[in-house]
Copies of this chain bind each other. A is one copy, B any other.
Amino acid sequence: MNSWGQIFRISIWGESHGQQVGISIDGVPSGIALCEEDFSKDLERRRAGALGTTPRKESDMPHIVSGVYNGFTTGTPLTIEFLNENTQSGDYKNLITHPRPSHADLVAQQKWNGYNDPRGGGHFSGRITLGIVAAGVVAKKILGQDAKFATEIVEIGGEQDKAKFADILESAHAAQDSVGGIIECRINGIGAGLGEPFFDSAESLIAHLLFSIPAVKGVEFGKGFAAARMKGSEHNDAIIDKRGTTATNSAGGIVGGITNGNEIVVRAAIKPTASIAREQNTYNFESGKVEPLIIKGRHDVCIALRAAVVVESAIAIALADLKLRA
Contacts and interface: CB of A to CB of B under 8 A. Distances in A.
A53 interface: no
Nearest to A281: B238
B220 A217 contact: yes
Interface stretch (A37-45, A54-62, A144-152, A254-262): A254-262
Interface string A208-240: 111110101111111111011111111111111
Contact of A122 (B74, B106, B259, B272): B74
Given A26-B11, A113-B30, A244 B106 contact: yes
Contacts of A222: 217
In the complex, the count of this chain's copies comes to 4
Given A238-B281, A256-B124, A276-B233, A228 B181 contact: yes
Given A255-B103, A273-B232, A208 B204 contact: yes
Contacts of A280: 233, 236, 238
A65 B84 CA distance: 11
A6 B13 CA distance: 17
Interface string A239-258: 11110101000111001111
A170 interface: no
A114 to B, nearest CB: 8
Contact of A255 (B104, B175, B250, B282): B104
A220 B269 contact: yes
Given A217-B223, A238-B281, A77 B111 contact: no
Contact of A13 (B24, B227, B256, B273): B24
A177 B246 CA distance: 20
A74 B125 CA distance: 15
Sort A-B residue pairs by CB-CB distance and give the 6 closest, nearest first: A104-B256, A218-B220, A178-B232, A158-B229, A75-B112, A30-B112
Interface of A: 1-4, 6-7, 9, 11-15, 18-22, 24, 26-27, 30-31, 63, 65-67, 69, 72-79, 99, 101-104, 106-108, 110-113, 115-117, 119, 122-124, 128, 155, 157-158, 172, 175, 177-182, 192-193, 195-201, 203-205, 207-212, 214, 216-225, 227-242, 244, 246, 250-252, 255-261, 269-276, 278, 280-283, 285, 288, 290, 304, 325
Given A2-B11, A220-B225, A224-B269, 4 more contacts: A3-B3, A75-B112, A182-B225, A217-B222
8 contacts: A18-B65, A76-B112, A76-B122, A108-B258, A110-B261, A218-B220, A218-B227, A230-B271
